[in-house]
Amino acid sequence: VLWAAVEVNQLTERPFEPALSVWDLIHRDCDLAWSAVNSHYMLGIMGFTAMLWLRAYVLLLSVRASNFLMSAASTGTAAALCLMVSIVNRGVQQGGGTADDRYGDTILDLFWHYGTLLLQAGLDGENPGPLQVSAIGLEVASLAFLLAVLLNESDLDFENEPDEDACPVDLFEINEDEISKLSAKELQRLTTCLSLEDDGMSAPNGVGKEEKRKREESDNGCQAAVAE
């Protein structure tokens, strides 16, 4: 949007030399803005499609949908993405009608052309653009971190990560030896767990009195350990 708005202002505010066609004018004087608008538009559409797939996957996963339903949602989204990329590939391949008046054969050539022009504009000796160069560097760093996460982390690592809000020990098998091995932070969490468990525990007709008595003894021992 910014590229398009600024370039339209430039077209109305400053004079341009005559051109044989609109494509000649764009290719000669507005190449960076034209390739930027097309590149960002396509990246936005693909990102939106990816977010739709991710939302559908998370919702279906949360309700424990069947694998067939999840596969149907995934393949449908992938089909839409493939069709969009194919349409853009055809447009890039045709370009201005000749081999010299096009960006390349695929959408990747369009992205590469845009990145090359952006870097050249940022490193221009007469009119440098440090923010443009910074944007390129930050984007490369972001992609590198994302790649590192995809390669080094997995769902199993996330599931095995300890929950800091969980109780450090089993509330039904608490003894003094286990309490003595806990840190001050773990003892504080244990006290909170015992308090919440006592608030939610009911013992009608005397049922569960023994468990409640043991829990009170453990709670007292835990509080004493925290005080020490």
Amino acid found at 30: C
Label residue 118 left, alpha or beta by phi (over 0 means left) and psi (-120 to 50 means alpha).
Answer: alpha
Helix residue ranges, H only, 63-104: 67-94
Question: Is the CB of residue 225 less than 8 Å from the CB of residue 169?
Answer: no
What is the chain's pLDDT, residue by residue, as a tens digit (228 residues)? 888 888 888 888 888 888 888 778 888 888 888 889 888 988 899 889 989 888 888 888 888 888 888 888 889 889 999 998 899 888 888 876 666 667 778 888 888 988 888 888 888 878 888 898 899 899 999 989 988 887 887 655 545 555 555 565 555 556 566 666 666 776 677 677 667 666 555 444 444 455 555 555 655 555 555 455
Structure tokens at 65: 């949908």
pLDDT of the residue at 14: 84
pLDDT of the residue at 206: 47
pLDDT of the residue at 24: 81
pLDDT of the residue at 205: 47
